[in-house]
Amino acid sequence: MRAHGWLVVLLMLMASALAACGSENPVVIATSGDYHPFNFINESGEIDGLERELGDELCRRAGLECRWMLSDWEAMIPDLMAEEFDVILAGMSITARRGELIDFTQAYSPSTPSVFVVRAGQEETAPNGTIGVTANTIYSDYMTESGHPFVPLDGSVDAVDAVLNVQIDAALVDHGYGVAKREEREGLLAIVETSLSLDQGLGIGVRQGSELRGEFDRALASMKSDGSLNDLLLKWLGEDAKTFR
């Protein structure tokens, strides 16, 4: 009986150790890899961009082991809820509708009014022409709900390319994305400011009730406090990027 008792204790200790090991599984971060400069695949075939650099630094500050994976934009929220991965870091806007399904951290990119990206020299006329927006985004939702006609762009079509290729006259996009694209295509593009605010900034998505929200929030707060988050935004989005005060 004594030997059996020690065996039970030993098995309990082994189970505890295995459980502890299981808790050290890496945090899996999903991104789309097609939203330059926030996230993209570089020449080495690796995930790169503002969000890759941000995510790696947040994981370092939080003491988390993290790994990255690619996911289709349309499936991200359902796949997060199905535990296919642990975190969404993919230029996702914080909205009340999405907040009914998942939790968001505090914003890592400030909420700013959306902008139109147009061909240079057409700032006055293009916003009244054919508008294109990426499908399954806050922009397509807005255009649909408000009854504005628009050209839906699937994930394989970059909104800026559609403007430059004269498929559309203007694209309604996030401010940071628009500014960065104007810098990339110097002399070819212009942005037209609007007063249209559709979100609460860009946030990191986690499953409802996940402890990761608090861990990433604390790491984000430390980056805001020491100015490193603003430095990152300016590095990737250009001098006109909106930053945290």
pLDDT band (50, 70, 90) for residue 44: very high
pLDDT for res 27: 98
Query: What is the rounded CA–CA span in Å between residue 136 and residue 214?
Result: 28
Exposure string of 2-21, with b = 16+ CB inside 10 Å and e = fewer, is eeeeeeeeeeeeeeeeeeee
pLDDT for res 245: 87
Average pLDDT estimate for 218-222: 98
Share the mean pLDDT of the chain: 90
Number of H helices, E strands in the chain: 9, 13
Query: What is the rounded CA–CA span in Å between residue 176 and residue 9?
Result: 57
Each residue's pLDDT tens digit, 56-88: 999 999 999 999 999 999 999 999 999 999 999
pLDDT for res 158: 86
Q: Tell whether the model's pLDDT for residue 178 goes beyond 60.
A: yes
Note the CATH number of domain 115-193: 3.40.190.10
Average pLDDT estimate for 157-163: 90
Of residues 13 and 154, more confidently modeled: 154
Q: Which two tokens stand for residue 127?
A: 């916003």
Of residues 18 and 100, more confidently modeled: 100
Residues of the chain with CATH 3.40.190.10: 26-110+200-237, 115-193
Note the CATH number of domain 26-110+200-237: 3.40.190.10
Average pLDDT estimate for 88-108: 96
Q: Which two tokens stand for residue 189?
A: 């593009």
Q: What percent of the chain has pLDDT over 90?
A: 78
Q: Assess whether the previous peptide bond of 149 is cis (omega < 30° from 0).
A: no
pLDDT for res 85: 98
Q: Which pTM was predicted?
A: 0.79
Q: Tell whether the model's pLDDT for residue 21 goes beyond 50.
A: no
